[in-house]
A and B are shown apart, each in its own frame.
Chain A
Amino acid sequence: MNNLVILPLLIPFIAGILMAIFRYKITFQKWLSVISIVLAGLASATLVHQISINGIQTLQLGGWQAPFGISFVADMFAALLILTTSIVSIACLLFAFRSIGEEREKFYFYPFLQFLIMGVNGSFLTGDIFNLFVNFEVMLIASYVLITLGGTRVQLRESIKYVLINVLSSFLFLVAIAYLYAIMGTLNMAHLSQRVAEAGQDGLLTTVAILFLIVFGLKAGLLLYYWLPGSYSAPPTAVAAIFAALLTKVGIYAIFRMFTLVFYHEPGVTHMLIAIMAGLTMLLGGIGAMAYWDIRKILAYNVIVAVGLILSGLAAFTSAAVIGSIYYLIHDMIVKALIFLLGGTMIVLVGTSKLKEISGLIRNHPLLGWMFFIAALSLAGIPPLSGFIGKVFITQGTFEAGLYWLGGIGLLTSLMVLYSLMKIFMNGFWGETNLSLDMEKGTTSGLLLPIGLLTVMTIALGLGVEGINLYVEQAAEGLMNPNLYIEAVLNGDS
């Protein structure tokens, strides 16, 4: 028993409620949101430390023993992800302070951001599949509000699509849970894993597994990503950045959890399907990223490419591939937030997202330009930066597993990603400067701080791979050996 496990969920929750009470005290809300994220980050850092020493930490809510109550489980994978969530959200929060505007701040912007983070942290930490659904809904409802908040025309149009597709996928999620409960008679993930292992994963269970894959594919943008480019280009930059960094990653996390813990007995069917979907996702995302001349669209398609790459690590399912996926997942959360903030700052400066109307920004904004360059190289996977190590391990893993075509697509799409981002860099930053400083539509004052923070993080993560290697290996070990998880939940002290 360890009450620390639930703190990353509770702290943003309490902070959000307090903010909702003091609706018009904007300064108070800003301070409280920073404090709450920092506290949640400290709690998750402590969790990472505890797990590295004592193994997986569990909390049985209400003191009910594991299969009967709801368990919260912090294994290394989840703990690393909530720590990254805190880092990303603090950067997006600092960006929002300067860019979101009083209109939105008065209408509960900060509380809903806290509720979003609460849902994300809860999804990472829960050990019960219905509780995962509830946390998904907490996260999604907060995201519905954040995507519509402000009520501009394009936001309303895209939010209808976003809400519809997510209501549908939540419904499918419920149906899948109902099937699983009817077959297995339990909802606790560890207990499910045990029972599936005892009964053997027959055709019926594999069908349910594929239904779960469709559900989480809809959430994560794995092949079923058609809602994503529109929805992610509608909301304001700070919100789009936090969506790109966190929301699809929760879907990816859920796929990882389900297919390493519960449905890992028929890799010939399920993991092959994931491999095909991941390959197609990467290719189509790469084509989309190259095709558009709109900054927001290019960045949104880059989100999709990364989803495919991370899941091809799961599809290969060797220890190297899983390590690579974890590295890339952490890297991608940070660098996707970074690139969205950078793109958003460009749009703030010139007042348009059409790439052909932007030129020569580097003369007046050298810092912004070179940080964009670093972010682009990091996304493409150039060695000293953080995207490299993950890609190497994923490629190695796919080759080991004999999925040469998947590794090949991964490498090919790296080029596509690099091309699409260099297109933004060369068209937007190079060339003749057609906007003087006083003709610009906005300023970068205060916006460069969070961007700089994330740039430092991506460089540090690239250079300091040795430092976190121990934790990532422990996380991969936990994913490859479901017994560790089951032991901790069902037989742990309490």
Chain B
Amino acid sequence: MKTNNVLLHTLSRVVTLIILIFSVYLFFAGHNNPGGGFIGGLMTASALMLMYLTFDFSKIKKALPINFTSFIAAGLLFAIGTGFASTLFGFPYLTQFFDYYQLPILGEVELTTALPFDLGVYLVVVGIALTIILTIAEDDK
């Protein structure tokens, strides 16, 4: 008889949302507080892992039809691209630029080119963590 994990299912739906929000918070906090692309990426990966653990493997695959290996490549391209952009204007590779902007809701915000670089790190971490775990999980076919 199949056990009914209704408690687990209901709880993990809520918890996953919280973890995802927290991981995004960590990602953006990285510049001035503890956090950043690496830890944010790991948190996101753990949230997705929780979904994979609680629900059926194939169901999540249907809901999230993503090839996580392409995340790695996309992240690396982001990171290199931000470094490369500065060389086009004659600055050394990986020079970072920043400026202050007035955004509608958030008020004055410092926007830096370190952010897309960190986004690259974030994508690579998510991609690698999930690729490792899913590859081992799918091994027995």
Contact = CB atoms under 8 A, between A and B. Distances in A.
Contacts of A62: 92-96
Interface string B71-87: 01100110010001001
A436 to B, nearest CB: 45
Contacts of B96: 62
A3 B95 CA distance: 11
A10 B80 contact: yes
A20 B80 contact: no
A160 interface: no
B73 A21 contact: yes
A14 to B, nearest CB: 6
Contact of A3 (B69, B76, B80, B87): B87
Interface in B90-139: 91-96
B93 A6 contact: yes
A135 interface: no
Nearest to A5: B93
A367 interface: no
B80 A17 contact: yes
A57 interface: no
B93 A3 contact: yes
Contacts of B84: 10
Nearest to B87: A3
Contacts of A6: 93
Contacts of A61: 92-94
B69 A59 contact: no
A63 interface: yes
A1 interface: yes
Contacts of A21: 70, 73
A60 interface: yes
Contacts of A18: 73
Task: Point out which of A10, A14, A23, A62 has the most chain B C-beta atoms below 10 A from its C-beta.
Answer: A62
Nearest to B84: A10
Interface string A354-387: 0000000000000000000000000000000000
**Interface size range on A against B:** 10 to 19
A13 interface: yes
Contacts of B77: 14, 17
B80 A60 contact: no
Interface in A22-66: 23, 59-63
A47 to B, nearest CB: 15
Contact of A59 (B70, B72, B76, B92): B92
Contact of B69 (A13, A20, A494): A20
B73 A20 contact: yes
Nearest to A62: B94
B92 A60 contact: yes
Contacts of A13: 76, 80
B92 A63 contact: yes
Contacts of A63: 91-92, 95
A118 to B, nearest CB: 11
Contacts of B92: 1, 3, 59-63, 494
A194 B127 CA distance: 42
B94 A17 contact: no
Residue among B76, B91, B93 with the most chain A CB within 10 A? B93
Most chain A Cβ neighbours within 10 Å, of B73, B76, B80, B92: B92
A494 B80 CA distance: 22
B93 to A, nearest CB: 5
A13 B76 CA distance: 9
B75 to A, nearest CB: 9
B73 to A, nearest CB: 5
A23 B76 CA distance: 16
Contacts of B91: 63
Nearest to A9: B93
Contacts of B73: 17-18, 20-21
A17 B123 CA distance: 14
A230 B74 CA distance: 37
Nearest to B92: A63
B127 to A, nearest CB: 11
A13 B69 CA distance: 16
B130 to A, nearest CB: 16
Contacts of A17: 73, 76-77, 80
B72 to A, nearest CB: 7
Interface string B53-80: 0000000000000000110110011001
17 contacts: A3-B92, A10-B84, A14-B77, A14-B80, A17-B73, A17-B77, A20-B72, A21-B70, A23-B69, A59-B93, A60-B92, A61-B93, A62-B92, A62-B93, A62-B94, A63-B91, A494-B92
Ranked nearest first, the 8 interchain pairs of A and B with the lowest CB-CB distance are A62-B94, A21-B73, A63-B95, A3-B87, A63-B92, A20-B73, A17-B76, A61-B94
Given A10-B84, A20-B72, 9 more contacts: A3-B87, A3-B92, A6-B93, A13-B76, A13-B80, A14-B77, A17-B73, A21-B73, A60-B92
Interface of A: 1, 3, 6, 10, 13-14, 17-18, 20-21, 23, 59-63, 494
